[in-house]
């Protein structure tokens, strides 16, 4: 039987058993499993890795638990600004949106940029106009803002606490291999808490936050975006596999736990290759992550 597999992450940061109750841990596990199941159902029926990635990330975007879509962290101006990207390992086509405030599911907009436009990255109002023309759901910015994020924003506004590490690294992502042997990757985020001046991180940047190529691997990153951009983190894993003949595990572990860590970059990534090998390295206290394979293996983890 042809292999398939899907991997998701819900962010990396200060995720420890001491600062999360059993109820909160269980809630995250339930949402991660829902995302995995949504993507796996598509793969099992012979669907594409691109559609599986979109479906899985849609679940996380619609959940208030993650820093993507509903539940995204707020900017210094108290707004939600969202970024997302997706890439097809078969065609090397990619799409992304950045700094959008009213697209319910940014990963779906990124997919349409890839499929229905001549471009890779659309931003701000232009991305919203494109999404409307494509029939995507447009919502008021208040849709994304939860009570939890309001309270965090108020605390930061009053200088009562610093940016929360988990919020900095709460990006959502998915990588998948379908039964046709094609890889895909996608990433979606609300960015960093209290960000200013239209800051954009690595999530909508192809090669930094997202990368996929059938010849090597698919990667979705989460962490301190500026470092992932500077070191072209997602692509570097693929480059090491292609040019150094490193394994997926060797390449991803080097990028996360040597290159980025030594430079001061915190975070992690999920990766899969064309043989359904999976790697999920991170250099923070924890990372929400999990996978389902066609052989029936299911795994969901949060801590080291």
d(CA 105, CA 123): 14
Model pLDDT, residue 76: 94
Q: What are the residue ranges spanned by the domains of the chain?
A: 5-303
Residue 243's alpha-carbon distances to 17, 224, 236, 239, in angstroms, are 39, 26, 10, 6
CA atoms within 13 A on the CB side of 65: 23
Nearest of 229, 161, 217 to residue 185 by alpha carbon: 217
* Per-residue confidence (pLDDT) for residue 165, from 0 to 100: 43
> Stretch 2-10: mean pLDDT, rounded?
97
- Of residues 220, 272, 214, the one with CA closest to residue 248: 272
- Start-to-end C-alpha separation, the chain: 33
Q: What pLDDT band is residue 48 in, cutting at 50, 70 and 90? A: very high
- What's the rounded mean pLDDT across residues 297-301? 97
Torsion of CA 10, 14, 20, 23, to 10 degrees: 0
What per-residue string of b and e applies to 72-111 under the rule 16 or more CB within 10 Å gives b? bbbbeeeebbbbbbbbbbbeeebbbbbbbbbbbbbbbbbb
Q: What percent of the chain has pLDDT over 70?
A: 96
For residue 156, pLDDT beyond 90: no
Portion of the chain with pLDDT greater than 90, in percent: 88
Q: For residue 20, what pLDDT is reported?
A: 86
Averaged pLDDT of the chain:
94
Contact by Cβ (8 Å): 86, 120: no
- The verdict on whether 171 is a catalytic residue reads yes
pLDDT at 197 over 70: yes
Spell out the residues 6+ positions from residue 81 whose beta carbon is closer than 8 angstroms to its own. Answer: 72, 75, 99, 100, 101, 190, 191, 195, 198
Q: What is the pLDDT of residue 284?
A: 94
Crossing angle between the packed helical segments 124-133 and 106-116, to the nearest 10 degrees: 80
Q: Give the number of other Cβ atoms within 10 Å of residue 299's Cβ.
A: 13
CATH number of 5-303: 3.60.20.10, 2.40.160.20, 3.50.50.60, 3.60.20.30? 3.60.20.30
| 11 strand-pairing partners | 288
User: In this predicted structure, what is the pLDDT of residue 240?
Assistant: 98
Among residues 48, 75, 137, 171, which one is catalytic? 171
pLDDT at 269: 98
CB 219 within 8 Å of CB 271: yes
Which pair of structure tokens corresponds to residue 254? 């080097």
The first and second tokens of residue 249, run together, are 């595990």
SS3 of residue 128 by DSSP: helix
């Amino acid at each position: 039987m042809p292999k398939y597999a899907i991997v998701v992450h819900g962010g990396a940061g200060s995720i420890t058993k001491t600062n999360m109750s059993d109820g909160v841990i269980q809630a995250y596990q339930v949402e991660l499993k829902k995302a995995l199941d949504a993507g796996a159902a598509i793969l099992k029926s012979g669907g594409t890795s691109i559609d599986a990635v979109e479906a899985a990330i849609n679940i996380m975007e619609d959940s208030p638990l993650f820093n993507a879509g509903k539940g995204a962290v707020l900017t210094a101006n108290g707004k939600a600004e969202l970024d997302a990207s997706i890439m097809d390992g078969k065609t090397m086509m990619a799409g992304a949106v950045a700094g959008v405030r009213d697209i319910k599911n940014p990963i779906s907009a990124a997919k349409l940029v890839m499929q229905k436009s001549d471009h890779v990255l659309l931003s701000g109002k232009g991305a919203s106009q494109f999404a409307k023309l494509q029939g995507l759901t447009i919502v008021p910015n208040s849709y994304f803002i939860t009570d939890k994020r309001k309270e965090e924003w108020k605390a930061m506004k009053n200088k009562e606490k610093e940016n929360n590490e988990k919020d900095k690294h709460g990006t959502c992502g998915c990588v998948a291999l379908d039964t046709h042997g094609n890889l895909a990757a996608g990433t979606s985020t609300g960015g960093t808490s209290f960000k200013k001046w239209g800051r954009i991180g690595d999530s909508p940047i192809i090669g930094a936050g997202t990368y996929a190529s059938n010849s090597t691997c698919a990667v979705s990153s989460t962490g301190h975006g500026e470092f992932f951009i500077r070191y072209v983190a997602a692509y570097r894993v693929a480059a090491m596999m292609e040019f150094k003949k490193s394994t997926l595990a060797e390449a991803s572990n080097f990028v996360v736990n040597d290159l980025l860590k030594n430079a001061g970059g915190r975070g992690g990534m999920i990766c899969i290759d064309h043989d359904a090998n999976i790697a999920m390295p991170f250099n923070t206290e924890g990372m929400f992550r999990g996978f389902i394979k066609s052989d029936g293996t299911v795994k969901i983890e949060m801590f080291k």
